[in-house]
Structure 1
Amino acid sequence: MPVKRPNPVLWLYYQYGGTLPARYREWVLRDATCKTWVLRVLVRCLIQVAPLGAVLFVGLGVLGGSWPIAAGALLLGVLVVVRIVLTSSVDSVDARLVRYGYPPGHGSAVRRQRDAEAAERYRAVWRQPPPE
């Protein structure tokens, strides 16, 4: 049975911190534990910062002064936000999963198990003892 994905409006609502209906619970788990989960956290961060960044860039740069200074300030601000988001990504993703009824730390446990299985497959293929 395929995982039910939210439509674009619900997806955007979810990116801004909204809670999806219960029928998307499995999709939220997949979103939080797939191989690209860190990239997804980064995209979520950038989507949340984009409107404020655009308003500040237009307000500070285009309408009120020097746009290179506004662009530099905006870039530094985005870099700070990205660093904060990435350093707290594990905890924030696990907390998001708790809102959907998963036990605390479930996302981290699923990712650890997936990584251990991948490491085992790698060892089985590439770390065989040399033939004698």
Structure 2
Amino acid sequence: MSRTPRRPGPHRWLWYALGGRLPESYREWVLHDVTSKTWLWRHGLRTTFLVGPLSALWLLLPGPLGLRLSLVLLALLVGYFYSFAFAEENAEHRLSKHGYDYGTGKRVRAAAKAEAEADIRARYLARYRQPE
């Protein structure tokens, strides 16, 4: 994909981050979102919108500050751990919700990785394996 598809507005992105389905006109953007080079960073940002408010709320609970901070730290660690453990599955689910076949994200990311590695290999061979 050479161009970035039309991005959703803030309210639509927030709905998408919370697990909602975007209108059909954003279908290409969803594919870009879960297959770009920064897809894991994007996944982390969406996760932050899920665990962040809950963690901030726990800071307001009554009790010793150390206990509340420990609760927030544990919640963030567990939340991010499970989120990243199932990041690929989450990406595939988002794609299937938007009309793509299951496995499309993994296939597109693998093709992009192979293309990048082929380019790196070609540059390496051109530089260090020149015929004498």
Provide the TM-score with structure 2 as the length reference. Answer: 0.91
Runs (5+) with no aligned partner, structure 1: none
Identity, in percent, stands at: 37
Which residue is 1:92 aligned to? Answer: 90
Q: Residue 119 of structure 1 corresponds to which residue in structure 2?
A: 117
What is the 5 A alignment of 1:5-84?
A: 5-59=7-61, 64-84=62-82
Go from structure 1 to structure 2 and tell me whether the alpha carbon gap of 1:38 and 1:65 turns closer, same or farther (over 3 Å shift): same
| Alignment partners' CA distance in 2, 1:130 and 1:116 | 23
How does the TM-score come out when normalised to structure 1?
Answer: 0.91
Does the Cα contact within 8 Å between 2:4 and 2:29 map onto a contact in 1? no
2: CA distance, partners of 1:106 / 1:57: 40
Q: Distance in 2 between matches of 1:108 and 1:39?
A: 16
Which moved further from structure 2: 88-97 or 64-73?
64-73
How many residues align? The count is: 128
Computed over aligned residues only, the root mean square deviation of the Cα atoms, in angstroms, reads 1.3
